[in-house]
Amino acid sequence: MMCQLKCCNRCKGDLVLDGDEWRCWQCGRYFYPKIAGLEPLPDVSEGDVAATMTEETKTRRHRRPRWAVGDINSLIVAKHRSEERWWDRNKELIHYLDEGRSVREISVMVGRSERQVRVVRERLNDLRAVMEPVPVAA
């Protein structure tokens, strides 16, 4: 039994294949498939493919990839801006964490939940672990 979920045009219900027609389980509406004149596709060899391509198809094939080199710089800038906003938004909270205050005390002072303070603390620890220089053995 074949089903199509949430495809009914009337009630957005589920369709089930009932013989050669689709029927909605929820509202009972019938949907009859449109049968067009089915003609077999002609056999095309590799050499004929280039000849049958239209100009639109040729330009569509040579589109720029989704993540082109020009887009990478914009992604880096967007990430940098996002990180700057995170530091600015959590400046006060980071200050209290650096003083060594407890999570509960900071959450009361800043007006955020304890979970939010813990998340900022964990991200701050991760960022600082990456930014610390590794001592070089002489």
- Residue 70 has a pLDDT of 60
> Model's pTM, two decimal places?
0.43
Which tens digit of pLDDT belongs to each residue from 60-110?
555 555 555 566 778 788 888 888 998 999 999 999 999 999 999 999 999
> Would you say 7 and 26 are in contact if contact means Cβ atoms under 8 Å apart?
no
Q: What percentage of the chain exceeds 70 in pLDDT? A: 67
Residue 126 burial by Cβ neighbours in a 10 Å radius (0-12, 13-18, 19+): exposed
E strands in 19-101:
21-24, 30-31
Domain ranges of the chain: 1-32, 76-131
- Residue 105 has a pLDDT of 94
**Which two tokens mark 114?**
């304890």
